[in-house]
A and B are shown apart, each in its own frame.
Chain A
Amino acid sequence: EIQLQESGPGLVKPSQSLSLTCSVTGYTITSGYDWSWIRKFPGNKMEWMGYISYSGSTNYNPSLKSRISITRDTSKNQFFLQLNSVTTEDTATYYCARSPLTIWGQGVMVTVSS
């Protein structure tokens, strides 16, 4: 059974970087599919942030392009999200998912606050 699990700090200070890890079990991320990050803001709005493909190429939402980086560690079967220069508007629950968005992690809530 394929499972995804997000991890990372729940609190980040404004202007700092947000870094999250998605650990994948039951499937090798280099075997296929794209591996996405999505976030859900308070109030229900959801935003697709970007993905890293099985081959290592990336595709980002243009709204975030200057601040986002998605990378991976194939030896650990993990992929990562880094979002720079965060503000309080980046407070959200962050999900990793296999694209097409058929399998999601449980999500991790991140608050940006001083």
Chain B
Amino acid sequence: DTVLTQSPALAVSPGERVTISCKASESVSTRMHWYQQKPGQQPKLLIYKASNLASGVPARFSGSGSGTDFTLTIDPVEADDTATYFCQQSWNGPLTFGSGTKLEIK
């Protein structure tokens, strides 16, 4: 299975720019997707196919990358962005998810 590696946690101040990375153990082309999950809620799709903004998602969120290295950027960060962010690939074999990056807003 394709393993997706994310850094476990980040802390930033409101108004700053934050980048969350996801590295795949093998190429996933551009079939990488990003989700936001707040405590007690279901995951919410933010970005699909590496760089496409999902419906209703603010333009502060953007995604980039291809192959094995992907980035989710939030600029500027707001207090409401406190959440865990997951990457997920749909190119190889069973769908797999990253372990999540917990974003804290100072």
Interface residue ranges, A against B (CB under 8 Å): 44-48, 61-63, 95, 100-102, 104-107
- Distance to closest chain B CB from A114 (angstroms): 27
Contact assessment for A47 and B97 in the assembled complex, using a CB-CB cutoff below 8 Å: yes
Given A46-B86, A100-B33, 18 additional A-B pairs, CB 8 A: A44-B99, A46-B97, A46-B100, A47-B97, A48-B97, A62-B94, A63-B94, A95-B42, A100-B48, A100-B90, A101-B33, A101-B35, A101-B43, A101-B45, A101-B88, A102-B54, A104-B42, A106-B41
Q: Does B96 reach chain A (CB closer than 8 Å)?
A: yes
Contact of A107 among B42, B54, B95 (CB under 8 A): B42
Question: Complex: how many Å from CA A95 to CA B40?
Answer: 12
**How many residues on the B side are at the interface (Cβ–Cβ under 8 A)?**
21
Q: Which of B44, B94, B95, B96 has the most CB of A within 10 A?
A: B95
Contacts of B62 in A (CB 8 A): none
Question: Of all chain A residues, which has the CB nearest B101?
Answer: A44
Within 8 Å CB of B94, what residues of A?
Answer: 48, 61-63
Distance of B5 from chain A, by nearest CB (Å): 13
Residue numbers in A under 8 Å from B44 (CB-CB): 104
Q: How far is the CA of A63 from the CA of B86 in the complex (A)?
A: 21
Q: Tell me if B84 is interfacial: C-beta within 8 Å of chain A.
A: yes
Minimum Cβ distance to chain A for residue B17 (Å): 24
| B43 partner residues in chain A, CB cutoff 8 A | 95, 101, 104
Q: Are A105 and B42 in contact (CB under 8 A)?
A: yes
Q: Nearest Cβ distance between residue A60 and chain B, in whole angstroms?
A: 8
Partner of B84, one of A44, A47, A100, A106: A44
Closest B residue to A6 using CB positions: B42
A44-B84, A46-B86 are known contacts. Are A102 and B45 too (CB-CB below 8 A)?
yes
Tell me the complex Cα distance, A100–B45, Å: 10
